[in-house]
């Protein structure tokens, strides 16, 4: 499981011309789910994402988490993060989890974050989406679960 975290001042996701999720300051997380990922992997990575200290403290140092600063979360499924890109000129998606299982874990991730008191918006799993964001920093990290 991979999570691409982007600290944002705002972000939104649009499906078929309709905004289905939008946030102010917080995190945009693009989530890639791979074969072999479990509910335990999902909860561990979700917890790590929510507690990852990438927001500035009073001295401007990255020392606060999303939970610390009360930011919002926009969660978007992105199976392309699970691609094997080690060789050739075309990605292989063999490492990606089956869509049914990936959707289950995606929903678990969102539910876990909501259970921690985070305001969570999501895209539509499996849909063609347009994601817009204003990356704050820019600050972007790739976490493997």
| Active-site pick, 78, 109, 122, 125 | 78
For 85-97, b/e burial (b = at least 16 CB within 10 A) is eeeeeeeeeebbb
Q: What are the backbone angles phi and psi of residue 109, rounded to the nearest 5°?
A: -60, -50
| Active-site pick, 79, 109, 121, 122 | 79
Q: Residue 49, Cβ neighbours under 10 Å: how many?
A: 25
Check if the beta carbon of residue 31 is closer than 8 Å to that of residue 82. no
Any catalytic annotation for residue 72? Answer: no
Any catalytic annotation for residue 104? Answer: no
Any catalytic annotation for residue 78? Answer: yes
| Active-site pick, 19, 35, 38, 80 | 80
Question: How far, in Å, CA of 79 to CA of 8, rounded?
Answer: 21
Annotated catalytic residues are 78-80
């Amino acid at each position: 499981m991979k999570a691409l975290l982007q600290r944002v001042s705002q972000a939104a996701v649009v499906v078929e011309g309709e905004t289905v999720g939008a946030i102010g300051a917080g995190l945009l997380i693009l989530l890639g789910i791979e074969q072999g990922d479990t509910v335990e992997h999902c909860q561990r990575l979700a917890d790590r994402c929510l507690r990852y200290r990438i927001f500035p403290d009073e001295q401007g140092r990255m020392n606060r988490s999303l939970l610390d600063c009360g930011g919002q979360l926009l969660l978007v499924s992105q199976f392309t993060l699970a691609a094997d890109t080690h060789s050739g000129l075309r990605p292989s998606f063999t490492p990606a989890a089956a869509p049914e299982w990936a959707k289950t874990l995606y929903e678990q991730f969102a539910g876990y974050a909501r259970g921690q008191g985070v305001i969570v918006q999501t895209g539509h799993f499996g849909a063609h989406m347009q994601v817009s964001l204003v990356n704050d920093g820019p600050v972007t990290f790739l976490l493997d679960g």
